[in-house]
Chain A
Amino acid sequence: MTARKNLYNVGAILKGLSITFKFMFAKRPTIEYPTVKKQHSPRFHGLHELRRYEDGKERCIGCELCSSACPANAITVIGAENSPDDRRSPGERYAARYEIDELRCIFCGMCEEACPTDAIVLTPRFEMSDYRRGSFIYGKDRLLVPPQAGVGEAPDERPGGIPSDLGRVAEIKSTVDVGEGYSATWRGEILKGERKGLAG
């Protein structure tokens, strides 16, 4: 009997028609994505970024805590000793190789929490689609902020920003102009040296 009621309930049909008609003029929530982009929260977990100190030195000290904290095993860090005439970071060690497989990464932010020097930070950037799997392995060439850009463009969620005294920047004098040597071949040279070191 209810079926019969539904089929011949003209009032309900008219009510439905009025609802759809009203919705024709309703405000549409669509964000037309490629042309209009949504503002993400500063805490959004997107693509990683390796930061520097204000003097241009890398924050990463190659401790591999991020790598061990990573639940998805997405981070590979190979540390190396800083040599006195080529200081990459303020500490004793730096990351000779730092790779994140963004396809494995679950963007949980545990690396960010584990990092003692706040070197690895998740930025709100999220558009990293590509055609090859290999290009999702982000090395230092793409993760590290360029020295010209200062400490990093991404907003920091802490009110004071990144504390600049982390890692005792003031006590260690820079011996190398960090602006040089970051050409496209730099990473390749480092990896060559690293392979030699591993063999020896």
Chain B
Amino acid sequence: MLVIFIKSAILLLVVVTTFAYAMLVERKVLGWMQMRPGPNRVGPWGLMQPAADAAKLMLKEDLTPKTADPLIYRLAPFVSLLTAFGAYAIIPFGASSSGTWAIGNVNAGILLLMAITSIGVYGISLGGWASGSKYPLLGSIRATAQMISYELAMTMSFVGVLIIAGTTSLDGIVHAQLRWWFVGPQIVGFMVYIITAIAETNRAPFDLVEAETELVAGFHTEYSGLRFGLFFIAEYVNMLTVSCIATLLFMGGWNAPFHLTFVPGVVWFVLKVAAFMFVYIWLRATLPRLRYDRLMAFGWKVLLPVATLNLIVTAIVVAITG
């Protein structure tokens, strides 16, 4: 019991620090891609920027609009945050001879992971709805529709992986990729997963939930101070989560590429996750936001059929080759 508490505390610390520096890296990389230096005033190379931001958010006034539903309004950020952090209870980061590096090793890991991350939309929907204001409401309506549409294609996209691996345990899926990463045979599923993962975490070019050009700030328009900070943390932690899942399902988890096994597995895992995070930032710097109807059409008419087709083909091939 105590061991689990210690593990959780360490993991929480690691994830929060990663969030803080992921945010700094995002601002830096976005800056570079736009020919700006990015934040560089607080500490050397701006390394203390996350601390400055955290202090600023904590000192800001926590406003609740008169029209808001006070209880749900105040609770919503915590729903987002708790579900975001909850996912890390079962994500394995590496393996040693004694077992996997995870707080909980669950048999149906991937299913539980999907279940936990799916609850995250409640934080956004309830927060926007309880704000009692039009822009957050529009944002949360979009969030609900978008999450439901893309969740379906997302789940479809990695069922192929589960069929090949023959297990739903994250540990088992990584072990099944010892020789071949599933990104090869499941390239279609991988592409669909990446696209839907961006949509699921409400990041550009699928950030219609926030859409500052149309909806002020979307679902978190009315939030300020630390409560806004919680939504912010949740967004980045979710990015990290889907990057972890992509690494586990498609990129071989902590398996080393080209038999470079002298580097510890955790390092490979972190590098792969970092690469996914970079792609996130890269896409944000490059692509403009989709129009809402096109987003829906793309999800239902392209991603879902493609993912389903991929699933059927994979199933047939696996059935034939045994």
Contact = CB atoms under 8 A, between A and B. Distances in A.
Interface in A2-37: 3, 7-8, 13, 16-17, 19-21, 23-26, 28-30, 32
Given A13-B287, A16-B286, A17-B282, A23 B298 contact: no
A11 to B, nearest CB: 14
B33 interface: yes
B32 A24 contact: yes
A24 B286 contact: no
Nearest to B32: A24
B134 interface: no
Contacts, number: 39
A23 B35 contact: yes
Contacts of A20: 33, 282, 285-286
Interface residues of A, number: 17
A24 to B, nearest CB: 4
B317 to A, nearest CB: 25
B287 A23 contact: no
Task: Label chain B's interface by main secondary structure.
Answer: helix
Contacts of A3: 291, 294
Contact of B282 (A8, A21, A28, A30): A21
Interface in B257-294: 282-283, 285-287, 290-291, 294
B37 A32 contact: yes
B58 interface: no
A7 B302 CA distance: 11
A13 B291 CA distance: 16
Interface string B3-42: 0000000000000000000000000010011111100100
B33 A30 contact: no
B282 A29 contact: no
A142 B290 CA distance: 57
Contacts of B290: 7
Contacts of B285: 20
Contacts of B291: 3
B37 A30 contact: yes
A23 B37 contact: no
A8 B301 CA distance: 12
Contacts of B282: 17, 20-21
Interface string A154-166: 0000000000000
Contacts of A17: 282-283, 286
B194 to A, nearest CB: 12
Contact of A26 (B29, B35, B294, B298): B35
Contact of A23 (B34, B40, B294, B302): B34
Given A20-B282, A20-B286, A21-B282, 5 more contacts: A20-B33, A23-B33, A23-B35, A28-B35, A32-B40
Interface of B: 29, 32-37, 40, 282-283, 285-287, 290-291, 294, 298, 302
Interface of A: 3, 7-8, 13, 16-17, 19-21, 23-26, 28-30, 32
28 contacts: A3-B291, A7-B290, A7-B294, A7-B298, A8-B302, A13-B286, A16-B286, A16-B287, A17-B282, A17-B286, A19-B286, A20-B33, A20-B286, A21-B33, A21-B282, A23-B32, A23-B34, A23-B35, A25-B32, A26-B35, A28-B35, A28-B36, A29-B35, A30-B35, A30-B36, A30-B37, A32-B37, A32-B40
